[in-house]
Amino acid sequence: MESQIILLVFILVLSIFLGVELITKVPSTLHTPLMSGANAISGITLVGAILSSGSSELTTIILGTLAVFFASINVVGGYLVTNRMLGMFKKK
């Protein structure tokens, strides 16, 4: 258990540094699509929601199913709206 948590923390720390490096270079023109695109990625919690929703415990199923609902709005809406915005960015 302990070694597993250390591994997860290790991944966490590296990902944060990676995120910082990736985003620092984004021009301000793209800040809104970046935010909504990143927001869609945060809907990854959908993966956890699906697992809870498929559980055998009734309370977990109810909470998990609600989570699937909200997370899928976040994912589908987030990606589509980002795509729609980016489609408008044109150069002459």
Partner 1 sequence: MDISILVNLTYIAASILFIVGLKMLGSPDTARQGNFLSASGMLLAVVITLLDQNIIDYRFIACALIAGSIVGYFAATKVQMTSMPEMVAIFNGFGGIASLLVGSAEYVVSPLDNSALMGAIYFTVLIGGLTFTGSLIAYGKLSEIISGKPFLYKGQQFVNGLILLAILLVGINMLFIQGMISPNQTLILLISLAFLLGVLFVIPIGGADMPVVIALLNSFSGLAACAAGFVITNNVLIVAGSLVGASGLILTNIMCKAMNRSLANVLFSGFGAVSETNSGGGEKQGEVSPINAQDAYLILEAASSVLIVPGYGMAVAQAQHAVRELGELLEANGAEVKYAIHPVAGRMPGHMNVLLAEANVSYDVLVEPEDVNPIMETVDVCMVIGANDVVNPDAKENEGSPIYGMPIIEVDNSKTVFVLKRSMASGFAGIQNPLFFKSNSRMLFGDAKETVSTLVSEFKG
Please report how close the Cβ of residue 42 comes to partner 1 at its closest, in angstroms.
4
Residues between 29 and 58 with contacts to partner 1, criterion CB under 8 A: 29-57
Contact between 3 and partner 1 by CB under 8 A: the answer reads no
Using alpha carbons only, give the angle 44, 9, 1 rounded to the nearest 5 degrees. Answer: 100
Query: Residue count at the site for partner 1 (CB under 8 A)?
Result: 82
- CB contact at 8 A, 75 and 36: no
Residues between 57 and 76 with contacts to partner 1, criterion CB under 8 A: 57, 59-61, 63-76
Please report how close the Cβ of residue 46 comes to partner 1 at its closest, in angstroms.
6
Which CA distances in Å does 64 have to 49, 54, 79, 90? 5, 8, 22, 41
Please report how close the Cβ of residue 22 comes to partner 1 at its closest, in angstroms.
5
Query: 43-70: b or e for each residue (b if 16 or more CB lie within 10 Å)?
Result: beebeebeebbeeeeeeeeeebeebbee
Contact between 6 and partner 1 by CB under 8 A: the answer reads no
Please report how close the Cβ of residue 18 comes to partner 1 at its closest, in angstroms.
7
